[in-house]
Structure 1
Amino acid sequence: METLSKVIVERESTVPRGWPDQVTAPWAWTGRDFEGDEGDGKYVIQLSASDVGDVEQALESFKKTGGGPGDVSRTSFPLPPFLQRRFEVVAKNLHSGYGFSVIRGLDPRQYTALENVLIYLGITSYIAPHRGVQDSGGSMIIHVKDLGRIIPDSELRQSPYARNAQPFHNDVCDILAMYVQETAAEGGESHVTSAAQIYNEIAVTRPDVIHTLSKNDWIFDKHRTPAYWNTRALLFNFDGKGPGFCFSRRPITGSPTSPRSPGVPPMTEVQAEALDIVHFVGVKHQLTLELQRGDIQLINNLAVFHARNGFRDSISQRRHIIRLWLRNDELAWPTPGGLKRTWFEKYGESERKNIAKWNIEPGASRERVLYRSDSCS
């Protein structure tokens, strides 16, 4: 009778040298930390009617300059010192606190599409004034909205233009901002989860996975012909801040809307397991945010993952979010070497930035909706 030999897999029993055993910073939290009646008060900044009046006064002041969206700044959109200080507190919370905030109290139905963009840029100029370009076409604004009614034969649409659920991921920016113009008729809830808390649990239970996530051998499909890809880590040890992530699953695993390109090497079973561990630990510690029309959600993209539920629109109520990629150069986490090229594309004087354009109204070309070579790279 044949005997089956036991395969022994040797795994690292400690985290990589120079990495912390645990993160004890404020951005290491679990959803339970925000339970109870006072939970949302820890991250929601409620604007009063007087505050909104000050914002509207700043809008009128900016209009007199005759400038466009790219000209909005702290100087051209003057807010009173008290409101400036409140937004500066938000900026500090994003970079050295919980890592996410919600500014509440605006009613986008009271303004034109352009006015909403100007107000959004004006407020965020006091939080993270450096704006990043979001695609190869130079888009400084992305309208996250299901375009299935507009683009025919587009059942497989890219995520900003679809209504399907999105797993936990990062964008490619320092601060992710989303201004809710309208919520869905049903679903579409936002989830956030702490990257540091995910790290802490994996560091204790599976330190070998920290090694896997921090290696520079993860393959990112660039969805080009002929096949082209680059490699980098998913997990970085940010100088002075500790571990943080930057990745989304699509360019690594492929998806129905973006199948893996022929000729791109597959990820390993060890990597597949690591991805799933990150996701399910994230779900375990997630916080669900019931965003309202007019909310501005702000996330430290390197410290906090985000996800969304699938949703359903109605004829009279269609989910619509305006997305910005922002950076506060004074408070930003130091950009690691593995992300510097991508950060230059977004925030530097790159070819993309030189053709910057401001899309005030929602919509996108059929090619942008169906095909995407831009990725978290």
Structure 2
Amino acid sequence: MNLDSLVELPLPGGPNIQWDPSYATYRARVNMLAKLDLPRPNQVPQGFPEMVSAPWAWDGSEYDDGDNYVLKLTEDDIEEIERALRYFKQRPGRLDPGQVSRLTFPLPKLGNRLKAVSIELHKGRGFSVLRGLEPRKYSAFDNVLIYLGVTSYVAEKRGCQDSSGNMIIHVKDVGKEVRNSEMRQSPYANNAQPFHTDVCDVLAMYVQEQAAEGGDSHLASGARIYNEIARTRPDVIHTLADPSWIFDKHQTPAYWNTRALLFSFEEHGPGFCFSRRPITGSPTSPRSPGVPPMTEVQAEALDMVHFLAKKYSLTMRLQRGDIQLINNLAIFHSRSGFRDSQTQTRHIMRLWLRNEELAWKTPDGLKKTWFEKYGDSDRRKIARWNILPGAKRERILFRSDSCS
């Protein structure tokens, strides 16, 4: 079932814009605004470059060959990982996933190659895939330990992903397991998702199983999108960098915060951080009554980013055992809708990570959110590790937390 088709949610008193973008609506809005002959800046804002010349400014056509970004683990690598797993499990005391680190999960040879992957994420193209693990060989608990151990060499600090303290999210369609859940949130559904970023420095996705059909991963360079907009519509850069964007927190009574979608990262230049759901509302999270709508100019900018992401995107079909790693501040991601079968059910474990040595410096507009995820926040004090898929019904159907 495609959730996007269940409910049509025009914004009362605001632009006709949906979570699932319509190209026809976008073009009509571009034409309508052009006819108004609005006064538009013809240069990008102060502090933003005319163009980003960096390895993470790429076109998807440059990466047709997966060998460019896939690190294939050898048999020796797998043996080293399994030795590290045994080392961790033989330690005295309670087996706490939160204690997995470079020290407690030693990878003396592979670790250096994984550190090089982290440099590629932060200073290079911004994404990589580790390939060669076979999740079916291990228990659910061991898969979590392996995942944490391997990724600790890429980015050791883990972010809390919601107000319940969950450190791991299992991305899996639960429609057959949870009754009356047609309007479930996207991590627990099979619908396509538009381009967005999460709330982290490094996004990690460990594929436990592929879908029977679909579920492809799409990536797009934020810098490539920025360059196109800066060249052709510098006024839109002003709109995206303005801190007046309204983010619905999906609470009662209505509550929202405001911030920019585009930031200037010290030493690294422009980077995006947002998802559409708290801005437009979605079929599963309707916009809260009383939350002010965005403007037509903002709606044009929001859809422009999405359709440029589609234009310059890279598509990959991840394999079982892959660990996809993304610099979340440099790269947008989306997914195709998918279908499971009786013998094949898509299941991905998601982590939000940060490498304190290599991380892009957090701008002021994101510091509060980053403190919640990575700092000594109340939600991190109740950190919990979900070893198996599943979540409370409230988390599946209603979520005030967001990838925003």
- TM bucket normalised to smaller: over 0.9
CA distance in 2, matches of 1:373, 1:7: 37
Q: Which residue of 2 is the match for residue 48 of structure 1?
A: 74
Q: Which residue of 2 is the match for residue 203 of structure 1?
A: 230
Q: Which residue of 2 is the match for residue 92 of structure 1?
A: 119
Displacement of 1:95 after TM fit?
Answer: 0.2
Q: Which residue of 2 is the match for residue 73 of structure 1?
A: 101
TM-score normalised over the length of structure 2: 0.90
Which ranges in structure 1 are unaligned for 5 or more consecutive residues?
1-5
- Aligned residue type for 1:34: Y
Identity %: 68
Displacement of 1:336 after TM fit?
Answer: 0.4
Q: Which residue of 2 is the match for residue 3 of structure 1?
A: none
- Aligned residue type for 1:30: D
Q: Which residue of 2 is the match for residue 371 of structure 1?
A: 398
CA distance in 2, matches of 1:200, 1:219: 25
- Aligned residue type for 1:57: R
Deviations 1:212-250 (A, max 9, x none): 000000000000000000000000010000000000000
Q: Which residue of 1 is the match for residue 156 of structure 2?
A: 129
CA distance in 2, matches of 1:351, 1:9: 46
Q: Which residue of 2 is the match for residue 118 of structure 1?
A: 145
Residue 263 to residue 289, structure 1, CA distance change in 2 (3 Å)? same
CA contact (8 A) 2:215 2:317 kept: no
CA distance in 2, matches of 1:52, 1:77: 13
Task: Give the alignment of 1:215-230 within 5 angstroms.
Answer: 215-230=242-257
CA distance in 2, matches of 1:176, 1:79: 21
Paired positions, count: 368
Q: Which residue of 1 is the match for residue 264 of structure 2?
A: 237
CA distance in 2, matches of 1:73, 1:368: 29
Are positions 1:247 and 2:288 aligned together? no
Displacement of 1:17 after TM fit?
Answer: 1.3
CA distance in 1, matches of 2:237, 2:403: 20
Q: Which residue of 1 is the match for residue 86 of structure 2?
A: 60
Which ranges in structure 2 are unaligned for 5 or more consecutive residues?
1-34
Are positions 1:11 and 2:40 aligned together? yes
Displacement of 1:209 after TM fit?
Answer: 0.3
Deviations 1:272-308 (A, max 9, x none): 0001100000100000011000000000000000000
Residue from 180, 188, 193 that aligns with 2:215: 188
Deviations 1:39-62 (A, max 9, x none): 212210000111101100110011
3-state DSSP class of the match of 1:92? helix
Please, what is the CA RMSD of the aligned residues? 0.8
Residue from 5, 13, 21 that aligns with 2:50: 21
Displacement of 1:7 after TM fit?
Answer: 4.1
3-state DSSP class of the match of 2:208? strand
CA distance in 2, matches of 1:256, 1:111: 37
Runs of 4+ more than 2 Å apart: none
Displacement of 1:376 after TM fit?
Answer: 3.7
Residue 7 to residue 309, structure 1, CA distance change in 2 (3 Å)? closer
- Aligned residue type for 2:329: L
Residue from 147, 153, 178 that aligns with 2:205: 178
TM-score normalised over the length of structure 1: 0.97
Displacement of 1:32 after TM fit?
Answer: 1.0
Task: Give the alignment of 1:331-342 within 5 angstroms.
Answer: 331-342=358-369
Q: Which residue of 2 is the match for residue 330 of structure 1?
A: 357
Q: Which residue of 1 is the match for residue 340 of structure 2?
A: 313
CA distance in 2, matches of 1:7, 1:257: 34
- Aligned residue type for 2:82: E
3-state DSSP class of the match of 2:142? helix
3-state DSSP class of the match of 1:361? coil
